Amino acid sequence: MPRLTVDLFTTLDGFASGEQSPAYFGQSGPELGNWIERELARPQVVLMGRVTFESLAASSRSAETELTRRLTALPKVVFSETLDEPLGWANSRLVKSGLAAEVRSLKETPGDPLRTVGSPVLVSSLLTLGLVDRLRLVVFPQVLSSTGRDLIFANLPDIQLDLVGTHVLDSRLVLLEYDVR
């Protein structure tokens, strides 16, 4: 059965973005780019929330790159109570309610692995509901305590994790991979 992997980019103090922070917190590099490409090349169903969906859909329309082509080709399930059909991005399906039931159904149906991309609000809900199998964090060497936005782990229940892998990317980013108990 498909497993759900959550991928998040975070600062050392747990923020998914910052008020003035550019993409990848301004610290993109070739190894991070290669990791992103490898991960998107794998068969998967991408789960995302409205904000991430709108941002990535706009990027796919404004600049066609290998990454945007791959994201366009992948099946996407978008969780939003405010979006309406049609979504305007190929291979996208909207789920307006029933997050837990939809994700459980996806996990019980044979198929490709499930993966989130960004979507910190959705990730928080999935973690709270106990639906995440694997948590992967790319930790950026920044502390954004006064300008950080989207604090990833605020208001979550206690969650036990087992470290299953670490990797350093571009001599400064740390990829941490955990199984969720």
pLDDT of residue 59: 85
* Domain extent listing, the chain: 4-8+30-180
Scan for tokens 């090349």, then name that residue: 41
Q: How many CB atoms lie within 10 A of CB 42?
A: 11
Please write the tens of the pLDDT for every residue from 107-116: 999 999 999 9
pLDDT of residue 66: 84
pLDDT of residue 7: 97
pLDDT of residue 175: 98
Burial category of 152 from C-beta neighbours within 10 Å (exposed 0-12, middle 13-18, buried 19 and up): buried
Parallel, antiparallel, or unpaired for β 134-140 and 76-79? unpaired
Architecture of domain 4-8+30-180: 3-Layer(aba) Sandwich (3.40)
pLDDT of residue 86: 84
pLDDT of residue 65: 86
Contacts of residue 174, Cβ cutoff 8 Å, sequence gap at least 6: 138, 139, 166, 167, 168
Q: Which residues of the chain have pLDDT under 70?
A: none
pLDDT of residue 161: 98
